[in-house]
Structure 1
């Protein structure tokens, strides 16, 4: 037999052998991991007090100081009031006071709880996550809640107006926050990518913070009965601090390709202490003291924790706008009141 004939015979034998070996040598490729196709469709909230439900009351068991957990997750939180078709459940991983580091991956804990992204990973493998809504950044370098405390101290005459003591450094604080929030958002994307999700499988929405106070405070409530802030600090919070914080959160969202929902003006006309005659019109808590907590040594330091956070009515109003945004295709929008008096997601530039 000519050499070329031997080569043909050799090839035939090799192919036959491989055919007999079948799956032992060439097993069927395993399908890539992906979001569970037939699992319940769910949405998830991540971040800090503004989305956990702080201020809305009726906190979930285990998050109201039990064993040191003060995450204050409320059943009235906006995420539980989002109305999306075919969504079976909402998960609230947000925790009051959480910095971006605890929202992302890593060892940072908040009130005993592990990374929110690690918690998301568990949810993503058992459910089909269709949207993640994040509100974070204010507890990083800006320290917004501490700034409001400084403003109260200024009203009491113990400090300079916070618009003067904090105002000159506020923009730098926000700038230092941006990379930290950006990392947390990328960590969320990493968790879902590792679970097999494509970017088109879910929405990542970053929402900013609503101004809880403003210069429209009722005169008789500009004290310890409601909103003990200097007038110049009320203006600074609404006109400078919150807009700059919003711009920083918007930048972090843009850095990761996330959608952005601007809540900075969502509470206009409904701020704490804005309605002396009808407090039910307000969407934020006034200065709030839990007198029962003050009588307990291990709870006393949290007796004022609810102050100047969205109340149940505020979360309901924000949820309507968030729902509208989640059902729309716009990359960015702002929650603004419409002619019907309710908030709507008005498209805005990215």
Structure 2
């Protein structure tokens, strides 16, 4: 009997040792000896989506700007309550932060001393956000205000409309546009890299959040009514409209996709997002349009500090456009991997069509 009890005791001790070893090496928070992935981003605070970039993100053209970004103390970032980040739907996300600023170049998104309308680096502002928010997604749109100077090109096309005998604005851009976009790419890559750096320094790993770089939607199209190719709507020549909506926007999108690949971000292509909803496409009824027409705030002309911004909203997504983009972005973020293109579906709404299906 004593011999049996001795072996029984040895067996019990052996089992205890095995169980202790199991909990030591596997632990309650691991599987097959490997740590289980944590659920969501680190830190405390509400689960949050953050928007970073320039006017197409800030909400320029959508109206309802926050008072502090509508000229107060020289700040013209024009962040709108109707910007797409305020409308995007992500399960569990309860907070939305818009750091974008109208006219921002990639250098102001990146870490450093470059300011836009007096505001510091957006990546630096993100570092403050992560102290009391758990960032689930960062959506970036930037680059058009760097070497391409897309807004300046649109202005040049606008000026060309006034002088019928002069060359169209696109005639010169045909030979320089690709090189301008190529020069933009490394600046965008650097900016996206600094956003990732800020999150890494806050303890984030890539699996904790989604990082999206999106392109720009075409604001105008060549088939608008002739009676609106003037100061009543869209004062552009037809050949310039054709260039903007094809070569101009597609080359810019291709450059941004290249930047997304190099920086490890997902890419959402908006180049065709505004098809049939461009500025002036609605003819006498602009209700179906997702972009502002030529917009002049006459009241601002009487104030010296506001007069130079009286045209700032022109040819940007309006509130309806931002709502449409938010629909597409919401679908895109729900998938969590791969690239996509925003295209209108049979229901008339924008949908995120996976890249492999949209070629």
TM-score (normalised: structure 1): 0.89
Q: For residue 8 of structure 2, what is the aligned residue in structure 1?
A: none
Q: Is the 8 A contact 2:41 2:209 kept in 1?
A: no
Q: For residue 335 of structure 2, what is the aligned residue in structure 1?
A: 328
Q: Do residues 144 (structure 1) and 150 (structure 2) align?
A: yes
Equivalences for 1:184-195 in 2 at 5 Å? 184-195=191-202
Question: Which residue, out of 261, 267, 274, partners 1:254?
Answer: 261
User: By how many angstroms is 1:38 displaced?
Assistant: 4.3
Change (3 A) 1:253 1:163: same
The CA RMSD measured in Å over matched residues stands at 1.3
Q: Is the 8 A contact 1:246 1:262 kept in 2?
A: yes
The separation in 2 between residues aligned to 1:254 and 1:291, in whole angstroms, is 44
Unmatched 5+ stretches in structure 2: 1-39
Post-superposition CA distance 1:131-179 (Å, at most 9, x none): 0000000000000000000000000018531110222100000000000
Q: Do residues 182 (structure 1) and 189 (structure 2) align?
A: yes
Q: For residue 296 of structure 2, what is the aligned residue in structure 1?
A: 289
Q: Is the 8 A contact 1:36 1:126 kept in 2?
A: no
User: By how many angstroms is 1:35 displaced?
Assistant: 4.8
Q: For residue 62 of structure 1, what is the aligned residue in structure 2?
A: 68
Question: Which residue, out of 135, 146, 161, partners 1:155?
Answer: 161
The separation in 2 between residues aligned to 1:306 and 1:68, in whole angstroms, is 17
Post-superposition CA distance 1:92-131 (Å, at most 9, x none): 0000000000001010000000000000001112111000
Q: For residue 92 of structure 2, what is the aligned residue in structure 1?
A: 86
Q: For residue 96 of structure 1, what is the aligned residue in structure 2?
A: 102
- 169-178 vs 295-304, which moves further: 295-304
The separation in 2 between residues aligned to 1:37 and 1:114, in whole angstroms, is 24
Q: Do residues 42 (structure 1) and 75 (structure 2) align?
A: no
Q: Do residues 305 (structure 1) and 333 (structure 2) align?
A: no
Q: What SS does structure 2 have at the residue aligned with 1:264?
A: coil
Q: Is the 8 A contact 1:35 1:195 kept in 2?
A: no
TM-score (normalised: structure 2): 0.86
Q: For residue 5 of structure 2, what is the aligned residue in structure 1?
A: none
The separation in 1 between residues aligned to 2:179 and 2:61, in whole angstroms, is 29
Q: In the comparison of the two structures, how many residue pairs are matched?
A: 317
Q: Is the 8 A contact 1:93 1:116 kept in 2?
A: yes
